[in-house]
Amino acid sequence: MSDPLYTEIIIDEARNASNEGTLENPDISQHDSNPMCGDSITLQMNVNDDSISDVKWHGDGCTICKACTSVLTQLIKGKDLGYVRNLKKEEILSELGLEYLLKQSPIRIKCALLSLKALKLGLYTFLGKKIEDSASLNNLKDEASKLY
């Protein structure tokens, strides 16, 4: 029996999610939730030499949320901040074959992109403390609020 959304790849990715856990004293810690379905996650990162030296996440989420969060953490670990702050939603979704959610499921897309929203907001706060140029920072915040 098969299902277009609940493929073995997605269920396995969620069940054996990468980087689940907690960081001690992280440089960035961002919580976010979807009140409608109850997904609730915290994304934590350490930054060294302008790149993500470590990343962990924890919380309670549905299969779609967990699978996408797992992929997101794989994509950003070890990468420099320039890449991370420009990470596009399509990159995460395509890893799991979920691009079609963008068009077809306004509800489930929120589950898929919750961790990306947390990432953008977390970076916004982190970079804000270092007084980056404010125009590009506001872009980041704007992007987070317009993800879905």
Interacting residues toward another protein by CB under 8 A: 1, 3, 5-6, 11, 15, 36-40, 60-65, 108, 111
Give whichever of 56 and 110 is closer to another protein, judged by the CB atom: 110
Both structure tokens of 1? 């029996």
Give whichever of 32 and 39 is closer to another protein, judged by the CB atom: 39
Of the candidates 8, 9, 21, the residue with the CA atom closest to the CA atom of residue 54: 21
Both structure tokens of 128? 């804000």
Q: How far is the CB of 137 from another protein (least distance, A)?
A: 33
Distance of CA 14 to the CA centre of its chain: 14
Q: How far is the CB of 58 from another protein (least distance, A)?
A: 13
Q: How far is the CB of 9 from another protein (least distance, A)?
A: 12
| Contact between 137 and 124 (Cβ < 8 Å) | yes
